[in-house]
Structure 1
């Protein structure tokens, strides 16, 4: 069976408090986009994981695809499989590609071997893989709180809009990104404003990590400015970076963004 794990962007990302367990509570909107990896799983005599496309650093035992398989195999009677991941979504970009891969393995195994897990059960398994993973089980626009695992549906009307994502190939250290964060409640109601036109978002809906990341990597800030100059109604860094996206109501010539990895989509999932 084949599936196509997709990326997500964060519209607004506010760190609201630090928890006793060391994690941080947040408020954000997760929006799936159709920048996709490709994942194939077939039965085999012994387990094997291979990959192509973008180079995946580290040992495969730490890959979320492998961890997802091991997690279900521990609890359910599933056979060995051969798993191949063709990696397209850049890593370390704040796009959730690795989390999507892990979540899609759970869904694919559940369907392929008729395990019978419900959406809630799949989300519970996904939560053990990472805070972003449960989102990709339902894979619909969500307003996220907690550490990202508490989600509610949100209807965002982006019909007629396109998303342009620019990845400059810069690795942003999560430690650096959090170093300048002072947790606080946002001064705006994210859910209420996202129900309005994207033309109203800029200057109000913010990513708290931008200030620290832009200071460390001014070239990321320049990309945001460039997207706004090209006519984006809204532009922001996603996650802790380094990808930046623009929401465009009018057509945009992405060739003006030469020398960078650019994804453009007129279709939202």
Structure 2
């Protein structure tokens, strides 16, 4: 096999996100729940015989050498060489983006995770899921989740993961036309870092007693900062909140709301097309039980 095509890199949503403290090294301590959805970037991988890792598509604002996809591929290449004494073949990577940057959907981390999983297969490296998760963590705290590959309760900086069950539902997601740099949120004077820790059974119990309206557990501590610094995020939360429990995912800017059926999601999107500002984008997505490339 010399090529893998149309490898999906799904988006994630944070059903809740609490900041419970800060480590001495500056990393924030978090509790969150991640769910995968079926809106995806896609990547193609083609082996080359000179050992080079190259991105063959242009991504505006993202130089090739700083792209997480390229860095992940080179890191895996080094790891395979360390383990086997042989440098794997090079690879051309075509990255087809639909997930927005600065949207809180984990697009860059998902792209990197898909790169690690796909090249682990294409190079015949044979690394375990845990080994790939450990390899990806220094590149980005969300990468281990995408390799973990199922709905998860996460702690620490986001790398301590446990599988959990949540209702099978549809989501309406709004991109409010702004990018929110994660660093702006975590360094803001408005960010609180003292939300009381919860336990996984609190989260699971919440979803076991759901009513006709899907209400999320907890809150997103980053939302109060993002809505203050980026008014379109606040406007999107308010607009979508008329239809259910709307909240921001990750550090923003995207806002989502859960619905039991595709028909409910379609009705909201119909209203969105009539009422939303032209600078916004809205779409629906189905929750995924497993990552399409899950090991």
* Alpha-carbon offset, residue 200 of structure 1: 6.3
Residues 1-20 of structure 1: CA deviation (Å, up to 9, x unaligned):
02110110001100000001
Q: Contact 1:132–1:148 (CA<8 Å) still a contact in 2?
A: yes
Which residue of structure 1 lines up, in the alignment, with residue 236 of structure 2? 223
Deviates more, 1:92-101 or 1:179-188: 179-188
Q: Which stretch shows the higher mean deviation, 244-253 or 78-87? A: 244-253
Tell me whether 1:163 sits opposite 2:183 in the alignment.
no
1-structure distance, mates of 2:98, 2:286: 18
SS at match of 1:126: helix
Cross-structure match for 2:281: 261
Q: CA deviation at 1:120?
A: 0.7
Report if the CA contact (8 A) 1:155-1:195 is conserved. Answer: no
Q: Distance in 1 between matches of 2:144 and 2:286?
A: 25
**How many angstroms apart in 1 are the aligned matches of 2:205 and 2:23?**
26
For residues 37-72 of structure 1, give each alpha carbon's deviation from its aligned partner in whole angstroms, at most 9, with x where no partner exists.
1101111134321226xx431311000110011101
Secondary structure class of the residue paired with 2:143? coil
Contact 2:150 2:288 in 1 (8 A): no
Residue deviations 1:103-127 (CA, integer Å, cap 9, x gap):
1111001111211111111111111
Q: What is the root-mean-square deviation of aligned Cα atoms in Å?
A: 1.9
Relative to the length of structure 1, the TM-score reads 0.91
Instruction: Give yes or no for contact 2:237–2:255 (8 Å, CA) kept in 1.
Output: yes
Shift in Å at residue 227 of structure 1? 1.4
Give the aligned partner of residue 245 of structure 1.
256
Task: Tell me what 1:176 maps to.
Answer: 184
| 1:76-155 superposed matches below 5 A | 76=80, 77-155=87-165
Contact 1:220 1:244 in 2 (8 A): yes
Please name the residue that 2:246 is paired with. 235
CA contact (8 A) 1:12 1:190 kept: no
Aligned to 2:84: none
Contact 2:214 2:259 in 1 (8 A): no
d(CA) in 2 for partners of 1:101, 1:175 = 20
Query: Mean alpha-carbon deviation: is it higher for 106-115 or for 170-179?
Result: 170-179
Out of 23, 26, 31, the position equivalent to 1:27 is: 31
Tell me how far 1:75 sits from its aligned partner.
Answer: 2.1
* Distance in 1 (alpha carbons) for counterparts of 2:38 and 2:228: 30
Separation (CA, whole Å) in 2 of partners of 1:174 and 1:39? 24
Contact 1:28 1:190 in 2 (8 A): no
CA shift, 1:208, in A, is 0.5
- 1:210, CA displacement in angstroms? 1.4
How far apart, CA to CA, are the structure 1 residues paired with 2:67 and 2:207? 34
Matched with 2:55 is 49
Counterpart in 2 of 1:5? 9
- The number of residue pairs the alignment matches comes to 262
My pick for the range that moved more, 165-174 or 257-266, is 257-266
TM-score (norm 2): 0.83
Residue of structure 2 aligned with 1:201, choices 189, 209, 215: 215
